[in-house]
Amino acid sequence: MSLTDEQLFALLTDIESDRVERKESFKGDAPEKIRQAICAFANDLPGHGEAGVVFIGARDKEGSLVGLEVTDELLRSLADIRSDGNILPIPSMTVEKRQLQGRELVVITVMPADAPPVKYKGRTYIRTGPRRDIANQQDERVLNERRRYRDLPFDLQPISFAKLVDLNRSAFESEYLLGAYAPDVLAKLRRASERLSHD
């Protein structure tokens, strides 16, 4: 889940990105806003399927670094966000100290949730362009539908990258069918299929 320095720098300087939140420090209203951003990135309403990133130690307007001193206490406080019970279901995220352009900063990487909607203190936060927002009823329906789609059993989920040439009829008949059906059932199915082909 760790992004390269090049990927991070591209996100840091993309002021219009809806996958990025920047804070100069973890003081004032920043703890609340960072938690809301983590919730929004976990919901991934735009459907990017990519991580959202919170930078702590960066100016919001131009993405320049402030030269934050990253301490163990700060990293522990940020890591506690994941499991303090305010964001549910618990988000998949990492907290790491990084260095870009010779300056320290904290990078929180948040992966899209498999079972949205994710809520912070009972509210569903989303990204609307480069800003945080609270989901409306339609947004909630979209997120709930994603969860229901992903809750399908594995063998009912489509494989998006599969192609027609990947199908192997001989392997299907000799491996799958022989394991899935009793020999007498297969014999009846073959006879029925032959009768239909003659008619």
Q: What pLDDT was estimated at residue 10?
A: 94
Q: Report yes or no on 159 lying in a domain.
A: no
Residues 184, 131 within the same domain: no
Q: Compute the mean pLDDT over every residue in the chain, rounded to the nearest whole number.
A: 91
Q: Write out residues in the chain with pLDDT < 70, as ranges.
A: 1, 149-152, 154, 199
- Residue 155 in tokens: 């063998």
Q: What pLDDT was estimated at residue 199?
A: 65
Q: What pLDDT was estimated at residue 187?
A: 87
pTM of structure: 0.75
Strands 125-128 and 131-134: antiparallel
| Domain coverage including residue 37 | 5-154
Q: Report yes or no on 14 lying in a domain.
A: yes
Q: What pLDDT was estimated at residue 89?
A: 95
Q: How far from chain centre, in Å, is Cα 11?
A: 17
Q: Provide the number of structural domains found in the chain.
A: 2
Residues 141, 173 within the same domain: no
- Nearest-angstrom CA–CA distance, 28 and 150: 38
Q: What pLDDT was estimated at residue 134?
A: 96
Contacts with 2 (C-beta within 8 Å, 6 or more apart), sequence order: 94, 96, 109
SS3 call for 165: helix
Q: What pLDDT was estimated at residue 1?
A: 67
Residues 104, 192 within the same domain: no
Residues 139, 66 within the same domain: yes
Q: Which alpha helices (DSSP H) does the chain contain, by range?
A: 5-13, 30-43, 72-80, 137-150, 169-171, 177-180, 183-198
Inter-residue contact 120 to 110 (CB < 8 Å): no
